[in-house]
Chain A
C-alpha cells in the first residue's frame, strides 16, 4: 500500500454528504484493490512513485492567482484554485436553459441527477478515479435544458498554485437536442497533485463541443479524465491539448450508448525537455451505426516521454460502426520516447475500422535545404515538423481558441531543442 493512499482513505472516511453510498462503494474498492501493481498493464508506463510516497497536503483557499485568458472567448468561468471553487455561483448570470450548482450546495432535485451521473459514465474506475469518487467535495453540476442551445462557452479552470492535493469534479448533463461548449482548462507548475475528472451525459441529438487543455508543467502532477456517454444521434467534438509535467495522465472515455452517435476527438501533445504525458483513450461502441474519428499527434522533446494507449472496443451489437484511430509522433532526440499502443477489439462483423501509429524523426536533408536558404533553424523546424500539429489546430471550430492556441503552440515547439 502507499502511504499517500492510506492517508487519503482515512480522510475520505470522514466525508459525509448525499453522495455517501457512492463514496462508500469507492472506498471499499480502494481498500480491496490497493495501490496498482508496478507491472499492471494500466499503469506500468506511468511514473507513480512520487504520488505513492507523497504526504497529503490539504487544499486551502489561495489568495494570489491569475486565471489564464483566451482573448475574445468571453466564457462563463468556473474557477478552482488548488482544488477549491473560488467562483461565487450567485454572481454569475446564466443564459436561459443553463443551470450550474456547486456539489456542496446542490438543491435536492439536482442531487438526484448528480447521484444518477456520478461515477456512472465510466463504471470501471481506476485508483485515482476511485480516490476522486471517495473524497472530492469540490465540484460542479451543469445542466442544459432540452432543446436549448447555449452560445456562451463554459470554462472549468483548475489552477495549481501551491503544494496541495486538489480533487475536483464536473458533472455535465446535456438535455435532449441541446448544445453546449465546455472548456476544461488546467494550468500551473507548482509542486502539487490534482485529480480533475469530468463526466458528460450527452442526450439524444445533443451536441457537445469540448476542449481539454492540460497545461500542467514542471512539478505540477495530475491524473484526470473526461468521460462522455452519447445517446441516440448525439454528437461530440473534443479537442485535447497537453503539455507534460513530472506526471500528467488523462483518461478519455467515449461511450456510444445510443445509436447513430458521432464522436470526433483530436489530441495534441507537445512535450518539452524531460516532460511526461500519458493519454489513455477508450472508445466503447456498444450500439450500432456509430462513428468515431480519433487523431492523436505529438511532438516529444529530449528525454521527454509520451504514452498513448488508444483502444476502440466494438461490441457484438454495434453493427455498421465506423471507427478510425490514428496516432502520429515526432521524436526530437534519440532520448525522446513514445510508447504507443493503438488497439482495436471488434466483436461485430459488419464494421469499418482502421488504426495506425507512426513515429518519425527530424528529416535532416529537408532541414539543410531550408537552412541553406537562410531560414533560421527554429523557424525551419517549425515549418517542417509543425504542419501535422497545425492541421489539428486548424480543425478546431472555435476561432478564438484557434487564434489563441496556434502561436502559443508554435512558440513552445520553436523553443524545444532538437538534439
Chain B
C-alpha cells in the first residue's frame, strides 16, 4: 500500500523529517506516537502533498506508484485520505456541495459514474447519522462554526463517504470527550477491512483502546526510533517518552 524509504523533509527551511522509513500493507493499522515536534503532522502533510513541505531526499510509493509524481488532488482521488487535526472553515461552500464534488471526483478517477444529487443525499445522510451529526450540518458551510469535536466527526464522515484505501488520521482524538472519541473510533472500525490501511497519529494511548493497532511506532527527531505492538503504546502511557531519551541516545552512541 505505502512504502516510505529514507524520507527527509523540511518546512520553511527547517528540517523536520530526517530519514523516515515505514511500510504499511493492505489491511494494517499503524499507530504513530511521539513527543511534540517530532514530525508526526509533517508526515501527514508531506504524504498529502501540502505546499511548502519540501522533500529533500527519499521516496514514497503508494499502491506501487511514485507518490511525489502525483498532485494533491490525484493522491486523494487515488485513495489517500488525510483527516486533519485542524480542519479549515470554508464559509460560502456548503458541506453537501463540497462532499458531493469530492466523492464524484474520486468516482470519476475510478471510472465510475457521478452520483446523482438524490443518490448522494442518501449516502450523505447515512454517513451523517453514523458520526452522530445532525443532518443540518450537511447544509452548513464546510466546518463553519463547528466545534472542535464536530469538525473531527465531519472528517470521519468524509472518510466514510470517500472510501479511501489509505486513511491517515492526524490527532483525530485530540480535544474529544469520551463519547465523541467513541464515535470517531466506531467510524474507523466500521471501515476496517482486509484491504484498507490506516495510519493513526496520536499523542495518547486512549484512542488505541478503541482502535486496536497492528503496529505502534515511535517517531522522534524526524524518524521512527522504535516499533512494537499495541503494548508499546501502553508503556508510553505509563512511562511517558522519558525512556526514549536514554534508549535513543544509547542507540546513537
Interface residues of A (CB under 8 A from B): 363-366, 368-377, 379-380, 383-384, 387-388
Asked whether, in the complex, the Cβ of A373 is within 8 Å of the Cβ of B102, the reply is yes
B210 to chain A, nearest CB (A): 25
B92 nearest CB neighbor, chain A only: A387
Task: Report B-chain residues with C-beta under 8 Å of the C-beta of A366.
Answer: 88, 90
Q: Are A365 and B101 in contact (CB under 8 A)?
A: no
- Residues of A contacting B98 in the complex (Cβ-Cβ under 8 angstroms): 370, 373, 375, 383
A364, A368, A374, A388: which contacts B102 (Cβ < 8 A)?
A374
18 A-B contact pairs sorted by A residue (CB < 8 Å): A363-B90, A364-B51, A369-B84, A369-B87, A369-B88, A371-B73, A371-B76, A372-B49, A372-B73, A372-B76, A373-B102, A374-B106, A376-B73, A377-B71, A379-B105, A383-B101, A384-B92, A387-B92
Provide the residues of chain A in CB contact with B90, threshold 8 Å.
363, 366, 369-370, 384
Q: A376 vs B76: C-alpha distance in the bound complex, in angstroms?
A: 10
B97 within 8 A of A: yes
Tell me the complex Cα distance, A370–B142, Å.
10
Q: Closest Cβ of chain A: how far from B54's Cβ, in Å?
A: 15
The interface residues of chain B lying within 8 Å CB-to-CB of A373 are 76, 98-99, 102, 105, 158, 162
Known: A383-B97, A383-B98. A377 touches B73 (CB 8 A): yes
Q: Is B82 an interface residue, CB under 8 A from the partner?
A: yes
For B98-110 the 0/1 string (1 means CB < 8 A from A) is 1101100110010
Indicate the size class of the contact surface on chain B: 20 to 34
Nearest-Cβ distance from residue B90 to partner chain A, whole angstroms = 5
Chain B contacts to A: CB under 8 angstroms = 48-51, 71-73, 76-77, 82, 84, 87-88, 90, 92-93, 97-99, 101-102, 105-106, 109, 142, 158, 162
Does B105 contact A374, Cβ atoms closer than 8 Å? Answer: yes
- Chain B nearest CB from A274 CB (Å) reads 26
Chain B residues, CB < 8 A from A379: 101, 105
Interface centre among A368, A373, A374 (most CB of B within 10 A): A374
In the A-B complex, the 5 residue pairs with the smallest Cβ-Cβ separation, listed nearest first, are: A374-B76, A374-B77, A373-B102, A371-B72, A374-B105
When C-beta atoms are compared, the residue in chain B nearest to A379 turns out to be: B101
Cα(A365)–Cα(B86), bound, Å: 11
B209 to chain A: closest CB distance in Å? 28
> Whose C-beta in chain B lies nearest to the C-beta of A369?
B88
Report chain B residues within 8 Å CB of A377. Answer: 71, 73
Q: Are A375 and B101 neighbours in the complex by a CB distance under 8 Å?
A: yes
**Which of chain A's residues have a CB closer than 8 A to the CB of B109?**
374
Report the Cα distance A368→B105, complex, angstroms.
15
Pair A375/B73 contact, Cβ less than 8 Å: yes
A374 and B77 alpha carbons, distance in the complex (Å): 5
Cβ-defined contact, A384 with B106, below 8 A: no
CB < 8 Å neighbour of B88 from A365, A375, A388: A365
Complex Cα spacing A379 to B142, Å: 16
Q: Is the CB of A372 within 8 A of B48?
A: yes
B20: shortest Cβ distance to chain A, in Å?
20
Given contacts A369-B84, A379-B101, A383-B98, contact A374 B93 (CB under 8 A): no
A368 B101 Cβ-Cβ under 8 A:
no
A410 to chain B, nearest CB (A): 13
Nearest chain A CB to B157 CB, angstrom units = 12
A379 vs B104: C-alpha distance when bound (angstroms)? 12
B99 to chain A, nearest CB (A): 8
| 13 further A-B pairs in the complex, CB-CB below 8 A; given A371-B49, A371-B76, A376-B105 | A368-B51, A368-B88, A369-B84, A369-B88, A370-B93, A370-B98, A371-B72, A373-B98, A373-B99, A373-B158, A374-B76, A374-B105, A383-B101
